[in-house]
Amino acid sequence: DQELLKTGSFKLSYYNEYKSYLSSRSSMTVVKTLYSICSTIIGSLLYGIYIRIFPIDTSPDRALIKNFLKQVLSKEIAHRGGSLDAPENTMYAFKKAVERGAKTIEIDIQYSRDGVPFVIHDETLDRTTNGKGAVRSSSADYIKTLNANVSFTEIAEDVGVPTLEEVVKFACDNDVILLFDVKGGGYCSLVVKTITDLLRKYPHFIRQFAVISFFPDILLQVRRFHPRVITGFTRRHDDFRDKLTAPFPYSFRFLLDRIFDLLMFYVIVPALRINMLEVRWTDVCESYLTDVAPLPVLTWTVNDPVRKSYFKKLGCGVMTDTLL
């Protein structure tokens, strides 16, 4: 809702660029969409069968989960560091978010060609930096030279694309919780290695982060190799209705969404010992929390103060683009 967006440092051009980016991503061909649906549903079933054969015997300590959720649910979560207040997913944004009272920051992770994890949302560099091309096709050295401030002209300084380790060190120094939103499939081995390396260097960081993702395969590998790490499953409940177009009737798209909801609640969540859910705010209401969702819920992305108040009263965690 454009009328709800705050004025000031946020630029409408940035908002329009992001809407255009989302539109281009949603314009999937029928073949790609069908492949995505089939792989998601079949993959979810296979994960459930796999876990039945090779059960996961451990999960995060209950006290760890309780303390973690208490902090995450207590204050607003800076989505990408607060992308309406500062250049998204940058150290500049994270520092500003902490100054404004944030105790939890959601970040996005993509990997460079040489396997270095960077904090950036898109699969490409084009929208949020002055660079071009896919993140996974670019070297770490190249990404480190880019300026990630392309919308906030009042900020004179260059703002780089941070590595994940830079952000983790900042979080440790400032007692901030990080939610790692791992983007894209095919990153399983890299994610496991990243967590292994981080926990070896920052052993106490286990209390300060969770891995969240749309991709069950990533959460499966995290749980198997790092059972004490807190995980969250992200879901849009109208994913297929949004992405599928003609010739598929609405009833067919609705049925696919409901099938995947059943797989999520009865296969993925219990099988992978998921600890929380991240759900788009348009799907969340009081009855959803009491009758449907089996776990604590974080809502995204809520920018209107009235809606923020509503979801806080329901006991949800609130991800927001603005802390002003």
CA distance linking residue 253 with residue 248, whole number of Å: 7
Cβ neighbours of residue 259 closer than 8 Å, sequence gap 6 or more: 41
The residue length of the chain stands at 324
Q: Would you call 204 a catalytic residue per the annotation?
A: no
Question: 48-51 long-range CB contacts below 8 Å, 24 or more apart?
Answer: 48/263, 48/267, 48/268, 48/271, 50/220, 51/220, 51/271, 51/272
Q: Which two tokens stand for residue 318?
A: 């609130």
Q: Catalytic: which of 79, 204, 226, 237?
A: 79
Q: Would you call 226 a catalytic residue per the annotation?
A: no
Which three-class secondary structure string do you get for 177-238? EEEEEECCCCCHHHHHHHHHHHHHHCHHHHHCEEEEECCHHHHHHHHHHCCCCEEEEEECCC
From residue 213, give the alpha-carbon distance in Å to each of 99, 173, 180, 253: 27, 25, 8, 22
Helices (runs of H) and strands (runs of E) counted in the chain: 13, 9
CA distance linking residue 285 with residue 304, whole number of Å: 16
Task: Please identify every residue annotated as catalytic.
Answer: 79, 121
